[in-house]
Amino acid sequence: MAEQRIIGKKRTIILIIFLGVFLTSLIIFRSIPLDVRKTYNQFVTTEDDIKICYNVFEPTNNDSTNKKAVLIGHGVMVNKEVMKMMALELAKNDFVVVSFDFRGHGRSGGDFNYIADNFNLDNLDMEEHIDLFNFNILTRDIKAIKEEYLANRGDIDMANLGYIGYSMGGGAGFEACFTDNDFKAMIGLCPAIDVSKVNTTNPKNLLILASKYDEAIVFDDVLKAMENKTEISTSVILESVNEKNYWEYDAGSFTTGTAARVYRNPYQEHFLAPWDKSYIKEARNWMLRALQGESNPNILQSSMIYNILSISLILEIIGAMGIFFILSGLIVSKLSKRREETLIEEDKIKEWGFQEIVAHALIYIVLLSFPCMLLFLPFFLGHLLITGFMLMLIFGPSMAIFFYLRAFMKKRDYNITSIYKEAFKTTNIQNILIGLTTGFMLYFLLQISIGQIFSIMPATFDWLWVPFYFGITFLIYFNFIMFFQPLIQEKIGEKYKNTALVTGCFNFAANVLLSLFILLTPCLILGNYFIFMFFVPVVGLHAVSSFTATYIYSKNKDVILVTIATALIPCLMFSTLSPIIWIGNFV
C-alpha cells in the first residue's frame, strides 16, 4: 500500500511537470510575437457565393493608413494553419498578413468537385497532374480576400500587395498575379506552375522557392518560368543554382517589377516546405525588398522568431504526449473493465517462433497488399475521395495481415472467425466509452498543440462523414492490432521486461517500412513521386498510433478498446486532409 502511494505521488509529480511544460509552451507559442495581433476564422463571400475562412496577423504598433499587406494561400489537402510560421514572421516585420482556406479546404465552404472538369482518364499524364486544378476558380477566393476584406479596411496600400502561394496555392497565385497588377510581389513556395502565366511583365517581382527532393513539382518548370520572366536561358539559371543554390536576375528591378530570384533548398522536399527556416527567411526578405524597399543588410540578416516558435511547439507536443500517456494509463487502469487473459492461450503463443511469425507475415504483405486494395473500391462512394484513397493504402496491407492470421491460425487449429468474435463478445459498453474517451483526449491534445501549424480539425461537412470513415478505419486498425498486440507484443513480453516500449518501437519501425513499401512501389512503377510526400505525415501518425496501441494494451488486453483509442486520430487526420470530392463527378 505504501509502495502504491509512492508510485502515485511520483506519477502526480511527473504529470504536473508535463502539464507545466505544455501550458507554458502553449502560452509562449500563442503569444509570440508580442507586438502582433492575431484574429482567427473570419469569413468573406466570393462572387459565386462561397464562404472563405481567413486569419489575420498584423502589427499592433503600426498606425499607418497605407500598410503593406500579403496574402498567403496553402496547398491541396492542407489548410491555412500550415502557413502560420511564415505569416507570423511577416507580421513581425510590419506586414498585414492574411492566410486563408481555399474553397473545399479547412473551414471554408464549397467543394473541390470542379477538378473533375479537367480529368481525362484516356489522356492523364502524371507529369501534368497540376492540369487537374482549375486555378481560375481559385482566384475567386483570392479576389474575395482582396476586395471584400483588405479593400474595406481603409488602411491598406491596395496598389502594392504581396502574395505567397504554396503548392496549389502557388498555381492560383500565378493565375491571379498574371492579370492583377495590384500584386507587386509574388512568392511561389514549391508552386504548381503554369509557365504560360509567366512573362517579363507578370507576375511582378517573382521569387520561387524550390526543393531539391520535391515529390510534386518538376524543377524544369521552375527554370522555364524564370526564363519566361527574365529571358535568361534555363541553362544559365541552372548553372548558378547548382553552384550556389540560388540565382537572382542582375538586371531586375523592384521598381519596374522585373526582379526575379530562385532559391533551391538542397535538403528539402515538398511537404515540409512551409516550416523550413530558410524558406521563411527568403520570403520575409523578398517582401521587405519588394514592398517596403528595404535594402539594409543588417535588417535583412536580422534574427527571426522562428527558433523560439519551433522550440515552444516541440515542448508543447512533448508535454501533450506526456499528459496523454499518464492520464490514459490512469483512465484505462482505474475505469475500464480489465481483461487479463489474451485472445490466444499464452502457452500456445510461447510455442510459436517470433521470426517465423514476422517473416511469414511479410510475405503475405508483399504479395497481397496491392491486390487487396481492390476490395476497397466500394468505399470510394463517400464524398471525401482523398480520405478514401489514404484509407485504401492501409486497407490493402491490413487485409493481407487478416489473410495471414487466418492461414496462420488455421494451421495451428485455431479459427480466426472465432477469435474475432471473441474479441467483440468479451468487450463491453464501458470499455468502448473508455476507448472513445482516450481517443478524443489524444485528439484534443494534438489539435491544440501540433494543430496550430497542421490542423486536424475536419470541416463542418466532413464531420458528417466521420462516422462512416471511422468504421472503416476501425476495421483496418483492428487487423493490425490483432497482429501486433496479441501476437507480437505477447511474444516480446517473453523476452523483454519493458514490453510496451519495445513493442512500440518494433510496431513503429514495422509500420514505417510498410508505408515505405506501399508508397514507393507505385512511384517507381509510374515514375512519379507525387504520393510519396504522404510519407512524412504518415511517419508521425505511426509514431502516435504505435505507442498508443502498445501502451493501452499493456493496461488492458481488450483489443476493441485499444483499436477505438488508436483508430480515431488517423480517421480525423485523413478526413481533415480531404477536400470535398465525390468520385461520381469523374465518371
Across the chain, what does the average pLDDT equal?
91
Same domain, 27 and 37: no
Task: Categorize the per-residue pLDDT at 131 as very low, low, confident or very high, splitting at 50, 70 and 90.
Answer: low
Of these ranges, 5-9, 233-237, 462-466, the one predicted with the greatest mean pLDDT is: 233-237
Question: Which amino acid type is present at position 135?
Answer: F
Residue carrying C-alpha cell 517473453: 494
Residue 411's pLDDT band, with cuts at 50, 70 and 90, is confident
Q: For residue 186, what is the domain's CATH number?
A: 3.40.50.1820
- At 355 the pLDDT is 87
Residue 459 has a pLDDT of: 82
Could you report the per-residue pLDDT of 158-186, keeping only the tens digit for each?
Answer: 999 999 999 999 999 999 999 999 999 99
Label the pairing between strands 260-265 and 246-248.
antiparallel
DSSP letter, residue 102: P
Q: What is the span of the domain harbouring residue 400?
A: 341-586
b/e per residue 15-26 (b: at least 16 CB within 10 A): beebbebbeebb
Q: Looking at the structure, do residues 186 and 312 belong to the same domain, yes or no?
A: no
Check whether residue 381 and residue 435 sit in a common domain: yes
Residues 312 and 248 in one domain: no
Residue 149 and residue 43 in one domain:
yes
- Checking DSSP bridges between strand 96-100 and strand 69-73, what pairing results, if any? parallel
- Rg for the chain (alpha carbons), in Å? 26
What pLDDT, in 10s, does the model give residues 513-546?
999 999 999 999 988 888 898 899 999 999 999 9
Q: Which residues pair with 248 in a beta bridge?
A: 261
* Mean pLDDT along residues 8-26: 92
Structural domain total, the chain: 3
Q: Which three cell numbers stand for residue 89?
A: 514572421
Encode pLDDT of 343-394 as tens digits.
777 667 777 788 888 999 999 999 999 999 999 988 888 788 889 999 999 9
What's the chain's length in residues? 587
Helix (H, G, I), strand (E, B) or coil at 280: helix
Examine the domain organization and report whether 327 and 353 are in the same domain: no
Q: Looking at the predicted structure, is the pLDDT value of residue 587 above 90?
A: no
Query: Are 271 and 228 in a shared domain?
Result: yes
Cell 486520430 sits at which residue?
569
Place of cell 506501399: 518
Q: Are strands 69-73 and 246-248 parallel, antiparallel or unpaired?
A: unpaired
pLDDT for the residue numbered 126: 39
**Is the same domain home to 322 and 200?**
no
State the Cα–Cα distance between residues 311 and 21, nearest whole angstrom. 11
Residues 488 and 374 in one domain: yes
Query: Which of 479, 468, 451 minimizes the C-alpha distance to 549?
Result: 479
Are 317 and 354 part of one and the same domain?
no
Using the 8-state DSSP alphabet, how is residue 296 labeled? -
Do 429 and 512 belong together in one domain? yes
Are residue 399 and residue 287 in the same domain, yes or no?
no
